[in-house]
Amino acid sequence: MNISNKKRNVGLDVARTFAILLVLFSHTLWISDNYPKVVRAAMKLSGTAGVEIFFIISGFLIGKIVWREILRSDFSFTNIKHFLFRRWFRTFPNYYLLLFVNVLVWYFIYGEFPEKIYKYIIYIQNFSDTSMPFYRVSWSLAVEQFSYIIGPFLLYGLILFFPKKNRDKFYLWVTIFILVCFTLTKVHFYYTQSVANIYEWNESIRKVLIYRLDVVYWGFLLRYFYNKYTVWVHNHERKLLFTGLFALIFLNILRVPLGITVENTPGFMIIWYLGLHSIAICCLMPYLITMEIRSKIVVKFFTTISLISYSLYLLHYTIILHSLKTIFPSEELTGIALWLYTFLYWGITILFSYLLYKYFERPITDLRDSPRILKFLGYNKN
């Protein structure tokens, strides 16, 4: 596969690479409980951070596209259609292909079809409750899909009714409105429901759509400040980097020894934890955007893993690891045998992700810039 770095930001590729490898590392714990204690602890911590990084990157980049579109003098509903079409052309093909593969894997293993497949087809598998055991990683895709819709449509409505008003302010107001609304859903949860431990918090809050639609919009907010105060942001990027790193270490490692847990401080964990985690990741982005790596080999590694990260995310857990554990049970493995199994799993996952990206994801995605498709949408690129 010919990989070009000309239009890519290496720092964001580094972030994507760390994000997907953190997720892969986290779900590796399903292989066996017999990893060393330090490794098990790291695996338990890594998954949340990995997915949250993806959300912020997505919001930051999608925010750039939305900002650019609403500032066009000829902005209309056609721009919204084109934006959604490009996002769906990027995300739908892999998602639905691997939804079908997941159904086959589930049937092969359990001898029956999973329940309520229709929810996965329309992305409501985790709308108000955690998703079922089937295709578990898809919860984050549902959050992203609804995020692509809610902000752009609110902006379109404001611009339609107030075409001469400042559109930069509309962008900021809509972003803050969404952040406040979906913080309030967590407040409502806190006063009406409860979680007994981190597992219930993970399943009832972190992975449920109506409590997470704010997460991508922290990336939108970062985009606003980045565009408006670019010089200040870059002048302080190192301070922001260290602030973000310290916050992430505190939120992911230090808070438990300090007694900040679901059991002791449910209000903090339910209402504030995820938002603060998102802000901490946002603090890393300015430094990453300007990052430079001289080694071409290192750049190629990060670029390649970044490019295949979406395929890797959808394949690694409910398809590859699920199938591998069914064929070769791993729960009792220890020592060298466990690590050989682990490296085999990682190697198979990266290989199949690469093949899926090269022969399906990229060719399909490239079609979205076809002149015929653009003409069909009535979109003018100029």
- Cα dist. 11→57, 81, 151 in Å? 11, 30, 26
Does an H or E element contain 369, and which? none
The 8-class DSSP code of residue 166 comes to -
3-state secondary structure (DSSP) of residue 160 = helix
Domain ranges of the chain: 10-377
DSSP assignment letter at 269: I
The model carries a pTM of 0.94
Task: Measure the CA–CA gap between 233 and 216, rounded to whole angstroms.
Answer: 20
Exposed, middle or buried, 33 (CB in 10 Å: 0-12/13-18/19+)? exposed
One pLDDT digit (tens) per residue for the chain, 382 residues: 555 555 789 999 999 999 999 999 999 999 999 999 999 999 998 989 999 999 999 999 999 999 999 999 899 999 999 999 999 999 999 999 999 999 999 999 999 999 999 999 999 999 999 878 899 999 999 999 999 999 999 999 999 999 989 999 999 999 999 999 999 999 999 999 999 999 999 999 999 999 999 999 999 999 999 999 999 999 999 999 999 999 999 999 999 999 999 999 999 999 999 999 999 999 999 999 999 999 999 999 999 999 999 999 999 999 999 999 999 999 999 999 999 999 999 999 999 999 999 999 999 998 887 777 766 666 665 5
3-state secondary structure of 378: coil
Polymer length of the chain: 382
Which single residue is written with the structure tokens 């079609």?
367
Report residue 293 as tokens. 């790596």
